[in-house]
């Protein structure tokens, strides 16, 4: 370019006079590709000077939070904690009726649910969608599905709705084969959080919690066996 | 008389800016989509009929209590708001169910407590010509017990383009009673 310049200056002396006119000539003479490559090189060089581009964060498996009995886990909606795991022959009022002929008993997990949102939340959908107890069979002896039931510990209201800002002690119950679990076994419980979906970039609808429920916390509860459970029947 | 080129230029710019500002103003005052869908609000007053499209509601009494009990031995402590009202369907029982019954306090929304039992719980169908008296018992966060609340009542969960009966309640103006009864839903006398 330096070679070309004097020649250009001879043909048109005015092109040299102002920076603007020089730029015009240069812009015509330099191919666009060079400008692009030079700009990119400058950008990458500058980036490298500051340590280069970082790797895109990998969608790493989030390690499960390890809870002790009584520890509180916030799902974003409910703040939950679990205290006891109990085996009992039957627990009337809990929503779970064991099939005695099928050799069933009732597994009870007690805990507290606190609603941290502004809208009522059903305890049953939490129990059936976000609470997983390892080792339970899928089917009952009569072919029905093994599903959780919930009941308040204080007045045995079945499948209570947790109103905003309130805490409720709840008994979660499942029908289990009598020989499946024993006293002093460890019951492994996983709590999953729903996913917050915010469609604000598509519409002016408010966001909401939806599936998938992603496992977020786990805890082990030592099982107590209370037999016929005369004490527990008061709670039910 | 004609403007100098310089003045004409300035006038064009000023005119352009005014038009942009006016366009922004029109955008700003244009109601959103939800405006066209908003419910027809019927303000209820204690002791007066409030008529919605499908139902007639008469608010009877609002109570605040720290202890409530039903007619079957159940009781509970806490912060409770009890709204007693009479309701009947208008003209037809089609679409007269009381599906929307909620208490709004600030951003929070409470549903009538199911703890009172199914016989006292106020949801369900209203009847033509047979008014029923019922009580909605809301168990609320004690922190909300001195705020303003709105009881919102209607036929569908979705209140768009439908009647919405609303009762303004100033909870701070109510004295909490030591014990309040949640009677079963019953035919009015």
The residues, ordered by sequence, that sit 6+ positions from A193 with a Cβ below 8 Å of its Cβ are A75, A76, A130, A213, A214, A216
Q: Residue B2's pLDDT is what?
A: 66
The shortest CB-CB distance from A157 to any of B110, B114, B143 is to B114
The shortest CB-CB distance from B141 to any of A119, A157, A166 is to A166
Inter-chain touch A160–B115, beta carbons under 8 Å: yes
Chain A residues touching B143 at Cβ < 8 A: 165
Chain A residues touching B141 at Cβ < 8 A: 163-166
Most distant pair of Cα atoms in chain B: their distance: 94
Domains contained in chain A, CATH given: 4-49 (no CATH), 70-235 (2.60.40)
Q: Residue B152's pLDDT is what?
A: 96
ipTM beyond 0.95?
A: no
Among chain A residues, CA nearest to B109? A119
Inter-chain touch A163–B144, beta carbons under 8 Å: no
What's the whole-model pTM score? 0.77
3-class secondary structure, B33: helix
Tell me the per-residue pLDDT of B7-40, one tens digit each, with 9 for 90 and over. 899 999 999 999 999 999 999 998 887 888 899 9
Q: Residue A208's pLDDT is what?
A: 86
Q: Residue B6's pLDDT is what?
A: 86
Top pLDDT among A205 and B188 is at B188
Shortest distance between the Cα of A122 and any Cα of chain B, in A, equals 11
- The yes-or-no verdict on residue B111 having pLDDT over 70 is yes
Inter-chain touch B107–A152, beta carbons under 8 Å: no
The residues, ordered by sequence, that sit 6+ positions from B157 with a Cβ below 8 Å of its Cβ are B99, B100
Chain B residues touching A163 at Cβ < 8 A: 110-111, 113, 138-141
DSSP class of residue A199 equals G
Tens-of-pLDDT digits for all 236 residues of chain A? 444 455 544 555 555 578 888 888 887 888 888 889 999 999 999 988 888 777 777 666 778 889 999 999 999 899 999 999 999 999 999 999 999 888 899 999 999 999 999 999 999 999 998 999 998 999 999 988 999 999 999 999 999 999 999 999 999 999 999 999 999 999 999 999 998 888 877 777 788 888 888 899 999 999 999 988 655 444 44
The shortest CB-CB distance from B111 to any of A154, A155, A163 is to A163
Inter-chain touch B108–A118, beta carbons under 8 Å: yes
d(CA B161, CA A226): 56
3-class secondary structure, A208: strand
Is residue B140 within 8 angstroms of chain A, CB to CB? yes
Chain A residues at the B interface, defined by Cβ less than 8 Å, are 118-120, 152, 154-155, 157, 160-161, 163-166, 204
d(CA A110, CA A134): 16
Tell me the per-residue pLDDT of B49-87, one tens digit each, with 9 for 90 and over. 999 988 999 999 999 999 999 999 999 999 999 999 999
Chain A residues touching B32 at Cβ < 8 A: 204
Inter-chain touch B74–A155, beta carbons under 8 Å: yes
Q: Residue A213's pLDDT is what?
A: 87
Inter-chain touch B140–A163, beta carbons under 8 Å: yes
Q: Residue A233's pLDDT is what?
A: 47
Shortest distance between the Cα of B37 and any Cα of chain A, in A, equals 14
CB A197 within 8 A of CB A203: no
Is residue B46 within 8 angstroms of chain A, CB to CB? no
Residue to substitute from A163, A166, A167, A168, interface B, most B β-carbons within 10 A: A163
Inter-chain touch B115–A152, beta carbons under 8 Å: yes
Inter-chain touch B115–A165, beta carbons under 8 Å: no
Is residue B114 within 8 angstroms of chain A, CB to CB? yes
d(CA B79, CA B143): 9
Q: Is the dihedral of CA A6, A9, A10, A11 positive or negative?
A: positive
Inter-chain touch A120–B140, beta carbons under 8 Å: no
For chain B, the average pLDDT equals 93
């Amino acid at each position: 370019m330096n070679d070309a310049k004097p020649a250009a200056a001879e043909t048109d002396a005015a092109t040299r006079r102002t920076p603007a006119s020089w730029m015009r000539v240069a812009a015509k003479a330099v191919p666009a590709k060079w400008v692009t490559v030079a700009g990119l090189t400058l950008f990458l060089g500058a980036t490298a000077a500051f340590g280069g581009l970082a790797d895109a964060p990998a969608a790493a498996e989030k390690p499960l939070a390890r809870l002790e009995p009584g520890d509180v886990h916030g799902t974003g909606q409910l703040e939950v904690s679990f205290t006891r795991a109990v085996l009992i022959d039957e627990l009337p009022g809990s929503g779970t009726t064991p099939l005695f002929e099928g050799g069933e008993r009732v597994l009870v997990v007690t805990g507290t649910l606190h609603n941290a949102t502004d809208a009522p939340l059903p305890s049953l959908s939490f129990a059936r969608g976000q609470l997983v107890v390892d080792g339970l069979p899928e089917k009952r002896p009569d072919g029905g599905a093994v599903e959780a039931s919930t009941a308040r510990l204080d007045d045995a209201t079945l499948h209570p709705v947790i109103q905003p800002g309130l805490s409720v002690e709840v008994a979660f119950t499942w029908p289990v084969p009598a020989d499946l679990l024993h006293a002093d076994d460890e019951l492994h419980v996983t709590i999953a959080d729903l996913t917050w979906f915010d469609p604000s970039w598509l519409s002016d609808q408010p966001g909401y919690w939806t599936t998938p429920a992603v496992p977020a916390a786990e805890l082990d509860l030592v099982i107590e066996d209370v037999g016929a459970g005369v004490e527990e029947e008061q709670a039910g | 008389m004609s403007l100098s080129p310089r003045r004409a230029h300035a006038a064009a710019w000023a005119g352009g800016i005014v038009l942009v500002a006016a366009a922004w103003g029109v955008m700003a005052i244009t109601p959103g989509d939800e405006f066209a869908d908003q419910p027809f609000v019927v303000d209820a007053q204690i002791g007066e009929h409030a008529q919605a499209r499908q139902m007639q509601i008469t608010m009877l009494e609002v109570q605040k209590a720290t202890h409530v009990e039903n007619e079957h031995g159940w009781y509970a402590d806490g912060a409770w708001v009890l709204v007693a009202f009479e309701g009947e369907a208008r003209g037809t029982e089609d679409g007269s169910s009381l599906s929307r019954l909620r208490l709004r306090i600030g951003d929070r929304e409470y549903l009538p407590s199911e703890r009172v039992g199914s016989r006292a719980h106020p949801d369900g169908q209203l009847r033509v010509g047979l008014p029923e008296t019922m009580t909605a018992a809301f168990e609320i966060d004690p922190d909300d017990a001195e705020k303003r609340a709105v009881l919102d009542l209607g036929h569908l969960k979705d209140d768009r383009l439908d009647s919405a009966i609303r009762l303004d309640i100033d909870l701070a103006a109510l004295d909490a009673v030591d014990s309040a009864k949640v009677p079963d839903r019953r035919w009015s006398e």
